[in-house]
Amino acid sequence: MDNLDEDDLAFFSKPIKKPPLNYAKQLIASSSDSEEESELDTNKQALEHINAQKNITHNENKSAEPLSRQSTILDADEGNQDVSDTTPNACLNEGRHSPKSAISCVTQPVSPVYNTRAAANLRNNSINSEAALSTTSSLLDDDFARRLEEIDRQVQEFEKSSSDMDVQIHTHKREIEEDDDNTSADVPLLKHSKSDHSTLYHSKSEFSTNEPVISVVLQLAVIGQRIPNSNISLPRDWEAPLFFKVKSNQQFRRVRIAYSERKKVDNVVLVFQNQRLWDYGTPKGAGMLKVDTRLVVHAYCHSDFISLKRIKELEVEKLSSVTEDSTAQTCKLITLLLRSSKSEDLRLSIPVDFTVKDLIKRYCTEVKISFHERIRLEFEGEWLDPNDQVQSTELEDEDQVSVVLD
CA atoms within 13 A on the CB side of 62: 6
Last residue within a domain, chosen from 287, 317, 347: 317
Report yes or no on 81 lying in a domain: no
User: Whole-angstrom Cα distance, residue 376 to residue 406?
Assistant: 9
At 356-404, the pLDDT tens digits run 888 888 888 888 888 877 788 888 888 888 888 888 888 888 888 888 8
Report yes or no on 358 lying in a domain: yes
346 and 303 in one domain? Answer: no
Q: Which parts of the chain register pLDDT below 50?
A: 1-2, 21, 23-24, 31-35, 64-110, 113, 183-209
265 and 349 in one domain? Answer: no
Report yes or no on 248 lying in a domain: yes
223 and 281 in one domain? Answer: yes
301 and 240 in one domain? Answer: yes
Residues 6+ apart with CB under 8 A from 121: 43, 46, 92, 93
Number of domains in the chain: 2
281 and 254 in one domain? Answer: yes
Last residue within a domain, chosen from 288, 317, 346: 317
298 and 242 in one domain? Answer: yes
Q: At 358, which amino acid appears? A: D
Report yes or no on 399 lying in a domain: yes
Position 48 scores a pLDDT of 66
Report yes or no on 47 lying in a domain: no
The residue range of the domain holding 272 is: 217-317
Q: Are 332 and 352 in contact, with CB atoms under 8 Å apart?
A: yes
Phi and psi, residue 292, nearest 5°:
-170, 175
Report yes or no on 347 lying in a domain: yes
For the whole model, what pTM was predicted?
Answer: 0.33
312 and 222 in one domain? Answer: yes
Kindly report the CATH number assigned to the domain that includes residue 286.
3.10.20.90
230 and 261 in one domain? Answer: yes
Report yes or no on 227 lying in a domain: yes
Last residue within a domain, chosen from 284, 317, 350: 317
The candidate with the shortest Cα–Cα distance to 240, out of 227, 257, 259, is 259
Report yes or no on 101 lying in a domain: no
DSSP helix/strand/coil, 354: coil
355 and 294 in one domain? Answer: no
Degrees to nearest 5, angle at CA 287 with 286 and 293:
110
303 and 272 in one domain? Answer: yes
DSSP 372: -
